[in-house]
Structure 1
């Protein structure tokens, strides 16, 4: 039987590399699908999803609110923080972001949605995520919204946290913080969608049961972090919710979208459609 070719989008981040290690290295294979990896920054994948370009892709949870008509959420592959998440850093203490220029890694990121929920009046300045901290250091912006490894390395630059969005979310909701999700395009037949889900979950399981092997591969994508710090970052976001977001994960997404709607950020309700199996 001829295999279906599907483009699989994910970011060049250590946690994504860990999740997709087994697929990328043929430790887990499908007899129905050949995956072609499309490795781009999350904001680029978000923009592709707006056009429905990729059959399967990682996106920000925020981006899903704009592509729910094109994609379904996979119950596995989510990046959720339990008491931690994006932070806002600055060179000096800032109690109020109103009127301040804040470097952000993209307006479709969940980090930007969270900041918009918990702060107001700031001036967002879009830039690549890996330029945000240097922009703060060079005083191009007053503060920076940090995602990925910067959550662990900002102290090395003498920066300080002025907003802990992950901590604020945990105190506010007692739920995990849904940051990234994996989605599959709706126009793909149901049985192939389920095969995508199976392969994704098996790849995550393989990584978790062959941790040293998967970490060695993942940390090639670590952008300056390695060893214990790299492992810590990967396992912050490859956790129980990655294998299956479960009811708490789905509830977290619902609460995130409702908060954004109540704040006027989202103009319509976003129904969840999660593929489980």
Structure 2
């Protein structure tokens, strides 16, 4: 009888991640020789957990990769990439991009890719960290001058009367010509080649199954959509579960290297780490 290796699989409780892992969570996809225990946490918690090496497979921000590269390698699948769109900077007042430098901007965690791109685009901003789900309230009540929205807030901020200052994914595309690599899946190097390949294969199959059974996967994802309407869940999943999610591809991998290279050149990270992909 084949030995089943238990692995922890950590990801965020957001509709796009839920869509990706629907088939694994519902046992539509049965991994070969491994069994995943799902752990749900917000992205900044996942970044910190990866630095501590807590989980076998984890979603992280691309910004966090240099801090975990010694122990983890990037998987080729499971990426969250915005091609011409991404985290949005919003304000209570209708201010211009040129007015952003010098302002206090709420960010959803210092190691989020959103925070990194904000600093690349607007090096003069002052930032304050907070939970991602508090950013809209902080902007609305005047606690901060502006805020960076990730997850579903990107498509619902107007319902709270907030104004778009800039889309960081569009800024990145205009600046580099590349898509913006926001999130990635990493796997612990010490698991060894065989287990890593089995984990990668299971995750790829889960994403593919979600894309092939979109309605069922969307119904599951809607349970993680923070009271979003069905069409909003559909829109958000469509934004971040795309061709890059199945495989970074050469363009996606180039985008990761470009982003981390710019972070190093700007002094935001000390090193890019060894940027390798597997699976």
TM over 0.5: yes
Q: Deviations over 1:79-133 (max 9, x none)?
A: 0011100111001114333332111100010000000111123221111101100
Match of 1:139 in 2: 142
Q: How far apart, CA to CA, are the structure 2 residues paired with 1:260 and 1:127?
A: 21
Question: How does the TM-score come out when normalised to structure 2?
Answer: 0.97
CA contact (8 A) 1:50 1:66 kept: yes
Q: Please list every run of 5 or more consecutive structure 2 residues that lacks an aligned counterpart in the other structure.
A: none
Question: How does the TM-score come out when normalised to structure 1?
Answer: 0.97
Aligned CA-pair RMSD: 1.0
Q: How far apart, CA to CA, are the structure 1 residues paired with 2:53 and 2:147?
A: 30
Match of 2:157 in 1: 154
Match of 1:272 in 2: 275
Q: Any idea what SS the aligned residue of 1:155 has?
A: helix
Q: Any idea what SS the aligned residue of 2:127 has?
A: strand
Q: How far apart, CA to CA, are the structure 1 residues paired with 2:8 and 2:271?
A: 30
Greater shift after overlay, 71-80 or 258-267? Answer: 258-267
Q: CA deviation at 1:225?
A: 1.0
Q: Deviations over 1:125-166 (max 9, x none)?
A: 111101100110000111001101111011111111112211
CA contact (8 A) 1:7 1:54 kept: yes
Q: CA deviation at 1:253?
A: 0.2
Q: For this pair of structures, how many residues does the alignment match?
A: 276
Q: How far apart, CA to CA, are the structure 1 residues paired with 2:271 and 2:54?
A: 24
Q: Matches of residues 80-119 of structure 1 in structure 2 within 5 Å?
A: 80-92=81-93, 93-94=95-96, 95-119=98-122
Q: Deviations over 1:36-69 (max 9, x none)?
A: 0100001101000001110000000001111001
Q: Please list every run of 5 or more consecutive structure 1 residues that lacks an aligned counterpart in the other structure.
A: none
